[in-house]
Amino acid sequence: MESLSKLLYLLEPAPVTLIITAVAVTFGSAFRALNYGKEMERNRDFSEASITLDRSQALMIPVMSSFSLLLMFYLFSSVSQLLTAFTAVASVSSLFFCLSPYVVHLKSQFGLTDPYVSRCCSKSFTRLQALVLLTCIGTVVAWLVSGHWILNNILGISICIAFVSHVRLPNIKICAMLLLCLFVYDIFWVFFSERFFGANVMVSVATQQASNPVHTVANSLSLPGLQLITKKLELPVKIVFPRNLLGGVLPGETATDFMMLGLGDMAIPSMLLALVLCFDHRRSNNSVNLFELPSSKGHKYIWYALPGYAIGLVTALAAGVLTHSPQPALLYLVPSTLGPVVLVSWLKKELMELWEGSMPTISDKARQIEV
């Protein structure tokens, strides 16, 4: 009964909002990745080509992630302002990428004229695109000034969507290799890193706040309104929700008063969802419409992977509540997403096709970048 009462916490606004947001972002990232690939193929515009990971690149991701984790664990205070500046630039680019399709939709829906105003980096900019870019810059500036968790989440979600759209997996074989390596990576850094490094490296890095370069510059120049600029920032490498969501957050509260989920716990499963969604689309040869997905016979594996993600996430949160300790989310998300896809494809005798992937077309090869 005591365990059951603890699990009732998952029905509170903060956990429910976290779960719904994560599931929506995971599906939205996969759907955007599919549409982005179709846009590039239709327009034959490969200037922003996606990276299709091969085996060596997939194996390097956990290695480089571990190196980055240790770097931030030991040198975070020294590089935090540089990280903040880099994150701000990446956030502007990612948010612009996420909002751009809506500009195209508005233009076609209302027949708006949108003349070109300039060229930048070999790309033409229209008035609406310039307006969207200014909106993105304004959003990032607002985050730098206020550090508000809602703005942090917006930027984090946009980074996740942009990452999944530009980094692709060619088949389930590479996907399984990547997921299993990150499965081990997550378990080690959450459960065993304290034995080797004296502290939980993953939790320490996840809960650290970065120095705000805007506050530093304003302070050095003695600019007015300095007290309005936050000194510390939560970097948008995770989504966060106040545990007392409806009551707001009181001044002086720390990161421990927030529920958080790393972007990797959304982006990595999203790469699997994007892979199976593209596979479903190739087999169906139908146009992609969000509202037609439930009734489309071609889109099937996505409906095994997405509920699996939701189940895995709920299980991870439940384990955290019951054990009162941080949990490696990929410990639960990898089996709950990869498992159903592999099992169902094996039962339908489509596993080998998914495992090896279809041969790339000329346009597919043009989109690949040698790294």
Helices 149-166 and 127-146 meet at what angle, rounded to 10? 130
Contact assessment for residue 156 and residue 264, using Cβ atoms and an 8 Å cutoff = no
Is pLDDT larger for residue 231 or for residue 180? 180
**Over residues 234-248, mean pLDDT:** 83
DSSP assignments along 66-101, one per residue: HHHHHHHHHHHHHHHHHHHHHHHHHHHHHHHHHHHH
* Predicted pLDDT at 255: 44
Active-site residue, 364 included:
no
pLDDT band with cut points at 50, 70 and 90 for residue 250:
very low
* Predicted pLDDT at 257: 80
pLDDT tens for 59-76 read: 999 999 999 999 999 998
Q: Which of 54, 257, 265, 364 is catalytic?
A: 265
**Over residues 359-363, mean pLDDT:** 41
For residues 369 and 286, what is the distance between their CA atoms, to the nearest angstrom?
27
pLDDT band with cut points at 50, 70 and 90 for residue 8:
confident
* Predicted pLDDT at 215: 85
Q: What stretches of the chain show up as alpha helix (H) in DSSP?
A: 2-7, 13-43, 55-110, 127-146, 149-166, 172-187, 193-197, 201-207, 213-220, 264-284, 302-323, 329-347, 351-356, 362-367
Is pLDDT larger for residue 192 or for residue 115? 192
**Over residues 259-265, mean pLDDT:** 93
pLDDT band with cut points at 50, 70 and 90 for residue 224:
confident
Amino acid at the residue 258: F
Lowest-confidence segment of 36-40, 147-151, 172-176, 247-251 by average pLDDT: 247-251
On the question of pLDDT at 297 being above 50, the answer is: no
**Over residues 278-298, mean pLDDT:** 62
> Average pLDDT over the chain, rounded to whole?
84
* Predicted pLDDT at 37: 84
Active-site residue, 257 included:
no
* Predicted pLDDT at 219: 84
Is pLDDT larger for residue 304 or for residue 45? 304
**Over residues 323-335, mean pLDDT:** 93
Q: Is 179 exposed, middle or buried (0-12, 13-18, 19+ CB in 10 A)?
A: buried
Contact assessment for residue 334 and residue 311, using Cβ atoms and an 8 Å cutoff = no
CA distances from 295 to 90, 286, 290 (A): 37, 12, 10
Residues 6+ apart with CB under 8 A from 32: 98, 101, 161, 164, 165
The pLDDT > 70 percentage for the chain reads 82
Q: Which of 186, 257, 280, 364 is catalytic?
A: 186
CA distances from 236 to 157, 159, 174, 345 (A): 8, 8, 27, 35
For residues 183 and 316, what is the distance between their CA atoms, to the nearest angstrom?
13
H/E stretch holding 126 reads: strand 123-126
Name, of 115-124, 207-216, 327-336, the range with top average pLDDT: 327-336
Radius of gyration of the chain (CA): 21
pLDDT band with cut points at 50, 70 and 90 for residue 211:
confident
Count of domains in the chain?
1
Backbone φ and ψ for 290, nearest 5 degrees, come out as -55, -40
For residues 121 and 140, what is the distance between their CA atoms, to the nearest angstrom?
21
Domain with 227, as residue range(s), is 2-367
For residues 83 and 54, what is the distance between their CA atoms, to the nearest angstrom?
28
* Predicted pLDDT at 342: 94
